[in-house]
Structure 1
């Protein structure tokens, strides 16, 4: 897997903890033009690495590397950027500090400005926890970001979403009898239960009822759960997952010194032309939550992805959903950012 490393040095996190020798893993696609204004930032989602974003990048697509310079920064905790699994003591494994979405975007800003000298961003786009990072970019750097396109994700972790993530966390905590001092005993095998918890949330009731998993090559419900949900989670490091779950549970674009928790004010500050694409049957990042957010962002539209793929309408698997997202991104990029 090819990617580059941007060394951040010793960083002080929002929590007040200093993480020594922190770094961002990232990959770029295309070339930065002379004006440095053809930039698209495409952050990764929970559990994903940059390769999982590549389905939305390609010639003739909205994210066309022959036109744009696309930067995919990896989320802290995902195993490539600074994470429990690759940080030396005293911050290894269960001792990794709490990292916020605000921290992630601040570090991405450093990458964009210090490494590349970029001052204007044409678009920030992302799925799920990538979506919340695109909202955060819009709120943290309103004069820099011209457009944002969050899909299947909110500008904060709404209460029910928090509960869903808590269920995933509880599956890991149960493996150590809910004793946090035993967390370092967790193994990837303990992730099987997390996959089963997520299986009920990742896609919709209709997806299961209509047995769409057969389109993915599974001839039984059990085979699908084991082959997709269990398998994908068991490939993840449990400590990385706990770190990302904390980031996800505490995600809120206003939870920082700029907005002091005033969520509505943070939304109103976003100047970017905004296209929010919730999955119409997403069970934990709902259309209603996004509609609330879209009403407060001055220049926002909410275009639901009409799909029974639930949260995974934004996962790059279903061709119809992929085309809908790509078409909306093409339309968004064609709009003048100057009004």
Structure 2
């Protein structure tokens, strides 16, 4: 099994990455800030406008180390990776499988997402039992349970999208109630994406972007084409299958954000507010976020399917392997990750 992902995050907007003597070198204003042996790197996430040198990109392509370019505000731009070495027959099987089983996979994915939403709420209720009689939370739990049943009975992707959208709206209407120890809860009214309009949305968007990049890397590792999905429509340049897979991991992103907020690891001073109304994590906020994110990825859980202890950072790789087995016909179904 692949080692726990050694991911390099470049958060300084003025950083430039280059290669020297088999080291990744980070420069700011021409001054060397960091040198890291290239053999220790498995993934690069760059939040810089300046990017990296052709020599470094060539080395990453050669060694199959993906470079993810993300805007300083957290929007995914592009990914540079080497030649895909996956089995071509697996990719043909992937297309055939998703054509035949796409609706079933989508229904299970949405059902798992809604189930994980319920578990996220219940986790907060364990710590804050006074919220158990909150009208909004009670109504949300009822809507999510009903949504799970409707999702399993959906007859088309279009109807499934409608069910998911209604449940997401209900879930996020209660999300601020789950923030129990931070004044930033008062700024969150509903989910806003492009751009996020408050600190809580900024944190959610940032976490989802990182998780999607992890899923894309994992899918490519097992030989699946991350651009060919079963639920999200095909779009040039979009990792549609990674967008599909991240649905089952959104709960981990949301729990992580709630932990940051409720333990007051993140505060108002960690955000920049733009004249347009957009709110982004500033550099200090990103550093705090990413430090805790990497710590979280090293924590272990017992995987419900393979019954082995797995670091959170390897969950996308485990699920990608399970999906590849389903595509190859080695298993009868693909079971998404379910939060316990």
The TM-score normalised by the length of structure 2 is 0.25
Tell me which protein shows more helix as a share of its residues.
Answer: 2
Q: Which has the larger radius of gyration?
A: 2
